[in-house]
């Protein structure tokens, strides 16, 4: 590991492809560090918003964007031919799973096809999108070389550096998060490390793109497996009438050999529910089984059904059924204090409750209206119900799916007759007997 200080020399010009939750913060950090950034995206609404110094991500203030736009160090465009004017291109595009739960690297390959005709000798291309080992030096390299006529490692540099973002964490700063960098050749790695050293304090070089790709998968598989463990213990301890949250809080007082993980209603976000399956899919190519990872996936995937069971039990205690009940999902984002709803288990609850005959709605101060996506197109345009006494009292049950700090949970217990809490946010608050059910 080596530590590099950001340079104040502003002569370098880079392009960052994909201006979402990863690409935009990275663009701002490079611009703050004196690097001129060309932000590229196929979404002209994002491009228009950025050039007008407007933010479309809740935790990124418009003032931060305005400072870099006005300085001339950040400009956005949909014109991919402009990559010929930069020294480096960083790719930050989505890598979802397809309907068969297999890796979909089409966004990476399409980006490679878009930039390859404009690739110049001596340029650096870095992939940041989470993927399986081999994507950079096999799949992306093949696309870049085919259309450009150039050779990676000889005519241009190629590297992988996994994104590390923690949206909603006020103590998380792009510049402070160590950056793992692996290259197609040692020279490729060194070139990428030098670039990132301009904007990020600590650079962690590894031996190859594959090692860097595997590092990201390990980080997220570690979380997935440990979350599955506490989710399973939640059900086991619940059957024993033991509060798993009390047990976790006691266990984390141990100053060594233990790290707390917390149960929830299911996995959400762009990483933890998806990334482990990139490795399980690739492992089959090598004749390797990933039983531990797949078991964790099964446990986490089953959590929404367990929560639904608790919802049914809570309603049954009031001589009600899900069919015909008015149910409010509290929190649509996948984690607290962000507007990112990708892979959120709340969508599973919306769908399952609707299918079982409930009249279902949601409240989320960060997601006032559901945006069109290919996964949840039929929910697009649905609006968050207002946070008022009359509104909350109109529901038979409130299911807490995401624990936003902005929500007044004392008011919730005052207004709602029945609450199912998957996040333990009602602990310590005054509730009537049988009003709050843990899930």
Judge whether 222 lies within some domain: no
Please indicate, yes or no, whether residues 335 and 197 belong to a single structural domain of this protein.
no
Judge whether 221 lies within some domain: no
Give the Cα separation of 173 and 29 in Å (integer): 9
For residue 296, report the phi and psi dihedrals to the nearest 5 degrees. -60, -40
Tell how far CA 152 is from the center of its chain.
30
Domain limits for position 304? 244-438
Judge whether 229 lies within some domain: no
Q: Determine if residue 85 is left, alpha or beta; phi over 0 gives left, psi from -120 to 50 gives alpha, anything else beta.
A: alpha
Do 41 and 78 touch, CB atoms closer than 8 A? yes
Please indicate, yes or no, whether residues 15 and 72 belong to a single structural domain of this protein.
yes
Domain end call among 156, 179, 207: 207
Please indicate, yes or no, whether residues 197 and 109 belong to a single structural domain of this protein.
yes
Using alpha carbons, select from 8, 69, 77, 13 the residue that is nearest to residue 43: 77
Domain end call among 187, 207, 227: 207
What is the number of structural domains in the chain?
2
List per-residue pLDDT tens for the chain, 439 residues long. 443 433 334 479 999 999 999 999 999 999 999 999 999 999 999 999 999 999 999 889 999 999 999 999 999 999 999 999 999 999 999 998 887 778 899 999 999 999 999 999 999 999 999 999 999 999 999 999 999 999 999 999 999 999 998 877 777 789 999 999 999 999 999 999 999 999 999 999 999 999 999 999 999 999 999 999 999 999 999 999 999 999 999 999 999 999 999 999 998 876 777 888 889 989 999 999 999 999 999 999 999 999 999 999 999 999 999 999 999 999 999 999 999 898 899 999 999 999 999 999 999 999 999 988 777 888 999 999 999 999 999 999 999 999 999 999 999 999 999 999 999 999 999 999 999 999 9
Please indicate, yes or no, whether residues 286 and 159 belong to a single structural domain of this protein.
no
**What is the rounded radius of gyration, in angstroms, for the C-alpha atoms of the chain?**
23
Judge whether 231 lies within some domain: no
Instruction: For helices 345-355 and 291-316, give the axis angle rounded to 10 degrees.
Output: 50
Q: Token match 């979909």: residue?
A: 104
Judge whether 235 lies within some domain: no
Please indicate, yes or no, whether residues 64 and 119 belong to a single structural domain of this protein.
yes
How far is CA 81 from each of CA 115, 261, 378, rounded to the nearest angstrom? 7, 45, 35
Residue 271 appears among annotated catalytic residues: yes
Give the Cα separation of 226 and 230 in Å (integer): 6
How many C-beta atoms surround the C-beta of residue 45 within 10 A? 9
């Amino acid at each position: 590991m080596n530590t590099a200080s950001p340079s104040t020399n502003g002569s370098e010009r880079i392009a960052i492809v994909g201006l979402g939750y990863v690409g935009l913060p990275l663009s701002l950090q490079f611009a703050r560090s004196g690097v001129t950034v060309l932000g590229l995206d196929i979404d002209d609404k994002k491009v228009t918003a950025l050039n007008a110094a407007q933010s479309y991500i809740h935790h990124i203030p418009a003032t931060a964007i305005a400072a870099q736009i006005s300085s001339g160090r950040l400009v956005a465009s949909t014109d991919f031919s402009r990559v010929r004017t930069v020294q480096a291109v960083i790719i930050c595009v989505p890598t979802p799973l397809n309907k068969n739960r297999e890796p979909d690297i089409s966004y990476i390959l399409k980006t490679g096809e878009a930039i390859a005709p404009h690739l110049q000798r001596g340029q650096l291309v870095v992939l940041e999108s989470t993927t399986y080992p081999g994507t950079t030096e096999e799949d992306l390299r093949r696309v870049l070389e085919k259309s450009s006529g150039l050779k990676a490692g000889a005519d241009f540099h190629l590297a992988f550096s996994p994104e590390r973002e923690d949206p909603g964490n006020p103590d998380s700063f792009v510049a402070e998060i160590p950056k793992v960098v692996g290259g197609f050749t040692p020279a490729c790695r060194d070139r990428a490390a030098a670039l990132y050293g301009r904007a990020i304090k600590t650079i962690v070089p590894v031996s190859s793109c594959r090692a860097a790709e595997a590092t990201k998968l390990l980080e997220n598989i570690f979380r997935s497996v440990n979350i599955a463990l506490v989710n399973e213990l939640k059900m086991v301890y619940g059957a024993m009438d033991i509060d798993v949250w009390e047990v976790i809080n006691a266990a984390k007082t141990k100053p060594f050999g233990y790290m707390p993980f917390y149960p929830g209603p299911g996995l959400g976000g762009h990483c933890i529910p998806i990334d482990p399956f990139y490795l399980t899919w690739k492992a089959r190519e090598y004749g390797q089984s990933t039983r531990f990872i797949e078991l964790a996936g099964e446990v986490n995937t089953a959590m929404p059904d367990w929560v639904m069971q608790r919802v049914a039990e809570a309603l049954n205690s009031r001589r009600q059924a899900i069919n015909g009940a008015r149910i409010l999902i509290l929190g649509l984002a996948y984690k607290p204090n962000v507007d990112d709803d990708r892979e959120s288990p709340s969508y599973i609850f919306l769908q399952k409750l609707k299918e079982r005959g409930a009249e279902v709605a949601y409240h989320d101060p960060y997601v006032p209206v559901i945006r069109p996506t290919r996964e949840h197109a039929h929910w697009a345009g649905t609006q968050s119900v207002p946070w008022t006494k009359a509104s909350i009292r109109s529901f038979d049950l409130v299911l807490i799916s995401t624990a936003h700090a902005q929500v007044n949970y004392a008011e919730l217990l005052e207004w709602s007759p029945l609450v199912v809490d998957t996040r333990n946010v009602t602990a310590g608050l005054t509730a009537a007997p049988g009003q709050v059910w843990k899930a």
